[in-house]
Structure 1
Amino acid sequence: MGTDLIPLIVSFVILILLLVGSALISGSEVAFFSLKPVDLEELEKDTSKKAKLTITLLERPKRLLATILIANNFINVSIIVLSSFISTLLFPENSIEDWLKLFIDIVVITFIILLFGEVIPKVYASKNSKSMTLLMGAPLYKIGKFFPINYLVKGLVAGTAVLSNLGKKKSMTVSSDDLEQAIELTKELEGKEDEHKILEGIVKFGQTDVKQIMKARTDVVAFGIHEPYEKIHEHILEHNYSRIPVFEESFDNIKGILYIKDLIPFIDHPPENWHSLLREPYYVPENKKIDDLLKSFQERKIHMAIVVDEYGGTSGIITLEDILEEIVGDISEEYDGEDLNYTQIDEHTYLFEGKMSLMDFYKVIDMDGSLFEESKGESDTLAGFMIEQAGKILVKNEKIVFGNYTLIVEAADKRKLKKIKVIIDDEVA
């Protein structure tokens, strides 16, 4: 009798181990593919070996999924075969009805696999995805390297790639660099210059960060929340803006956006509490791409966002008009004043405000800006670029030579460069 129990006990132990393996593999499938962006950022910052293996697996999601599916199927098939063997040991031939044995072999085993090998672990993994990936990263990595499974995984990935391409129409992949070259080639052909500028704006649209085209905080017109309405009214008439940020104590603490159209009902009499008219501000990081921001503006039906830096401070604002101008060029309104940011002295000489953005500088000079973009660091203004290149805050009459451009400080103080003369000449020394 003792001898008969040994294979049964060993089989049960192996069955439990296989169920545990099935649960871990099934749970890892959900865990790896339900990681939140925050979890991914934390994993990338984690220097542990487990985190590095997890990131390595996530870099090849198709291979990871193939490894999980193949390993899980091997385990589940092993569970079925072993369960059938245990059933034979427990119920020898003719000991129970055939239908009952068939019911146990199919229904009961299937229920156990589904409950303990699929449902419970996947529910757990969905709530603890990060810890589950760290636990299963190393085992899955080793399983994927195991000789027979490695070849099966490669075959499955290749097969799915072939199947996914079946029926697809062949299409030509054109990069943004190819489009830029094509536009450059057609510049000399007869056509409207404005059309070429619009096409160039479209090509570069997805490559531009918010920080490159935003209005810096020093140039933003904003109200303090404790200012009386009479003073607010004077500012509105003076500046003619349709939306104005409102802050408390400092510009880093924006409390809302005042829409001038919300004041129309109060033309004849001031509102009792103008603060109640403020709308919720929308914040965006400096490195957000303007094509993504345009989608956000469309979805939220808004025209302005507050730009914040990595420390949470307010860098400036960006509007829908700023984004559209990157494609169609400057949009002038009937109340826009004359642009005083620069003066063209002659064909090759300009005088710029130091705070002028590099993007606007490129437009005025009519250049693509690639030379400056490759050499600049964090700077986004002409003054910032000069300071970066010189490695110090320059004083009046100091200059730098950059390619075919000579940049000369015309006015400055101890803190910033106010005016910069730019000379464009191939012969500049």
Structure 2
Amino acid sequence: MEDSIIEPEPYFLILTQLNSVPAIVYPIFFIILILLLLSALISGSEVAFFSLSPQQVHKCESSQRSNDIRIAKLLSNPKLLLATILILNNLVNVALITLATFASWEMFGRNAEQKTLFFLNAFITPAIIFFGEISPKVYATEKNLLFARFTSGMLLVATSLFKPFSWLLMSLSSLLEKRLERKGYEVSMTELNEAVEMTTTVNKDKEILKGIVSFSSKTVKQVMQSRIDITAFEIEDNFHQLLDEVNKTSYSRIPIYQDTIDKIEGILYVKELLPFVEQDENFNWQNLIKRDTFFVPESKKIDELLKDFQQMRVHMAIIVDEYGGTSGLITMEDIIEEIVGEINDEFDDEEDLGYKKIDNRTYTFEGKMSLNDFYKVLNIDSTEFTEAKGESESVGGLLLELFSKLPTAGEKIEFKNYVFTAISVDKKRIKRVRVFIKDENINAISNQ
């Protein structure tokens, strides 16, 4: 006798075989509907609260309405709010699935696994996804403030009720964040620059993007005008001496020092002198000095300094070394040039900028020119000279590192693709340098 094969019942016939629904199932279905509504409110509240604009949050903080006050209080601790919403949502959904499973057992019997799975997958899961997740989140996105006001009371009570569990969840989250931070992947500046090279075709845009990429990594020491390049006046000068010195410069702000440049007394704004140009040499111009000079260390990042400039409404800072001596000077323009490139006027030429282009492969540079500007002129990556420059930040300093001594005029040295020649040298420093690029394919700037 052949064994009979029992085929599974078609899903669409399962419900038709149900003769009667037990009375206990009706209140369970009613509770499921309530839980589904609660799930919708909780899911929508997550989107509503965390999509509020700063203006809406400020409006709630300054409002006297009770629900707005509750919103402001909940958003004062966003991690606690999020943890509470996640705990609530999971509790409600678990309760919903549990009740739906119990209802299916009452209808089909505890051994009807196939029918139970069909009931849960065909009705309960789609109901949770559509009515409990998608629909409320779409509505909450459009009416976020209204939705947040409606659910703020419920969430405030839940925040207090589930605070111990929320605290545990936040602690685990913080621990995980710290571990990920330690093991996280760090993208190097070289990789970011390579990404810019691959994704940008316009040279000017490429240079700006490169400036943005490296902006936060640069210190004021890399960007500043060095001590020997600072134009500063002695506080003991009489008024006529001062005017004569001012006429020889093109600066609008000039540091004033006492005895030596290491003792900066303040900053003189040239425009402040205009009403007094007819005064005699005894005019007390020292009263015009702004004494609240902004001093910063060499190690300060230029992105932080830019924020300080904006907050303090100043355009110039004096850089001091570890001993408190004047190391250099930096202006707002110096910082902005690190992003947009050199800002020149109609009177500037290449020599004023510290270099001169002889041909596409030959340049001359002032020894005092910063390596940062040197890289920009040759359009090369700063990492090319990382191993050679040591602690130096100028072209002259780079040559001292390469030669390991003060070279004589005309002395040459090769490094990678470059030939450096000391053109002008005095007893203390390298004043002028010629750079020859051996490879014709080097990415040097052809048009300045």
- Counterpart secondary structure, 1:393: coil
Describe the superposition over 1:39-68 as per-residue Cα deviations: whole angstroms up to 9, x where unpaired. Answer: xxxxxxxxxxxxxxxxxxxxxxxxxxxxxx
Describe the superposition over 1:149-173 as per-residue Cα deviations: whole angstroms up to 9, x where unpaired. Answer: xxxxxxx98861338989xxxxx99
Q: Which residue of 1 aligns with 2:377?
A: 364
Q: CA deviation at 1:337?
A: 5.9
Identity %: 44
Q: Which residue of 1 aligns with 2:238?
A: 228
Q: Which residue of 2 aligns with 1:161?
A: 172
| Residues 176/266 of structure 1: CA separation in 2 closer, same or farther (3 Å cut) | farther
**Distance (whole Å) between structure 2 residues aligned to residue 272 and residue 197 of structure 1:** 48
**Distance (whole Å) between structure 2 residues aligned to residue 417 and residue 323 of structure 1:** 26
The alignment's C-alpha RMSD in Å is: 2.8
Are 2:415 and 1:398 equivalent residues in the alignment? Answer: no
Describe the superposition over 1:88-112 as per-residue Cα deviations: whole angstroms up to 9, x where unpaired. Answer: xxxxxxxxxxxxxxxxxxxxxxxxx
| Residues 198/225 of structure 1: CA separation in 2 closer, same or farther (3 Å cut) | same
Q: Which residue of 2 aligns with 1:348?
A: 361
Task: Map 1:14-413 onto structure 2 (within 5 A).
Answer: 160-162=171-173, 175=187, 177=189, 178-187=191-200, 189=201, 192-269=202-279, 272-279=283-290, 280-334=292-346, 336=348, 339-340=351-352, 341-413=354-426
**Distance (whole Å) between structure 2 residues aligned to residue 338 and residue 408 of structure 1:** 19
- Aligned amino acid, residue 276 of structure 1: N
| Residues 422/162 of structure 1: CA separation in 2 closer, same or farther (3 Å cut) | same
- Counterpart secondary structure, 1:239: coil
Describe the superposition over 1:298-318 as per-residue Cα deviations: whole angstroms up to 9, x where unpaired. Answer: 111000000111111101100
Normalising by structure 2, what TM-score? 0.55
Q: How many residues align?
A: 266
Contact residue 318 and residue 329 of structure 2 kept, 8 A: yes
- Aligned amino acid, residue 396 of structure 2: A
**Distance (whole Å) between structure 1 residues aligned to residue 434 and residue 347 of structure 2:** 29
- Aligned amino acid, residue 288 of structure 2: L
Contact residue 362 and residue 369 of structure 1 kept, 8 A: yes
Contact residue 176 and residue 203 of structure 1 kept, 8 A: no
Contact residue 240 and residue 335 of structure 1 kept, 8 A: no
| Residues 159/251 of structure 1: CA separation in 2 closer, same or farther (3 Å cut) | closer
Contact residue 389 and residue 397 of structure 2 kept, 8 A: no
- Aligned amino acid, residue 394 of structure 2: T
Describe the superposition over 1:164-222 as per-residue Cα deviations: whole angstroms up to 9, x where unpaired. Answer: 989xxxxx9984645323202124x4xx2111110100000011111111111111111
- Counterpart secondary structure, 1:339: coil
- Counterpart secondary structure, 1:305: strand
| Residues 408/339 of structure 1: CA separation in 2 closer, same or farther (3 Å cut) | closer
**Distance (whole Å) between structure 1 residues aligned to residue 264 and residue 220 of structure 2:** 18
- Aligned amino acid, residue 332 of structure 1: N
**Distance (whole Å) between structure 1 residues aligned to residue 432 and residue 296 of structure 2:** 30
Q: Which has the larger radius of gyration?
A: 2
- Aligned amino acid, residue 182 of structure 1: A
Q: CA deviation at 1:268?
A: 4.1
Q: CA deviation at 1:350?
A: 1.1
Note the residue ranges of structure 1 that are not aligned, 5 or more in a row: 1-155, 167-171
Q: CA deviation at 1:329?
A: 0.6
**Distance (whole Å) between structure 2 residues aligned to residue 324 and residue 285 of structure 1:** 19
Note the residue ranges of structure 2 that are not aligned, 5 or more in a row: 1-166, 178-183, 441-448
